[in-house]
Amino acid sequence: MAALWPLAALSGIILLFLLLPPANIRRLLLFGYAGGFLMAAVQNYTLVHLLKIWKFHHLFLAVGGVPVALLLLWWVITIFFGHLLLTTRLSRLFLFVIFAAAATVLSQILIWAGYQTVRADWTAVHTFFLGLLSHVVLYGFFLVMVPSEVARTRTRAS
């Protein structure tokens, strides 16, 4: 079970390079770093150390009590999110809900596998709304970090 974090991150990276065009990955690198590493690190550090809402266990390699593999996984997820924002005609709200639901499921899997414990008053509903808020913030990052791509996508859609 201790290999779950690195295995999930490695699988995500492999899927990223198999499913997305290299040009899109390059366009979204900065967005992925800001959202996947920086925002996820700040958010998890706040939730682990300041608010003490959850704690991670079985840490192989961690920064501030947050598994590095989790930050890598959020980098991958953030780039997939950006790719969908660029390429799909789906509603932004629908994408926020889908990714928030995925974050909730991932968190529940970590809890069931024994890699994360949460405070008794923290539920999957809280995690869903945290995921929803996180992806709204990510969308703001996206609009700032990938503005030329957003303009190009809007022009093509018209």
CB atoms within 10 A of CB 12: 19
Find, among 54, 38, 46, the residue nearest to 118 by Cα: 54
What are the distances in angstroms from CA 119 to CA 5, 15, 36, 47, 78?
21, 33, 24, 11, 26
- Structure confidence by residue, pLDDT tens digits, 41-73: 999 999 989 999 988 887 778 788 788 888 998
pTM to 2 decimals?
0.86
Domain count of the chain?
1
- Residue 149 is predicted with a pLDDT of 63
Q: Work out the average pLDDT over 102-116.
A: 83
Higher pLDDT, 153 or 52: 52
The confidence score (pLDDT) of residue 156 equals: 54
C-alpha–C-alpha distance, residues 138 and 140, integer Å: 5
**Structural domain range at position 152:** 4-157
pLDDT 10s digits, 12-47: 999 999 999 999 999 999 999 998 889 999 999 999
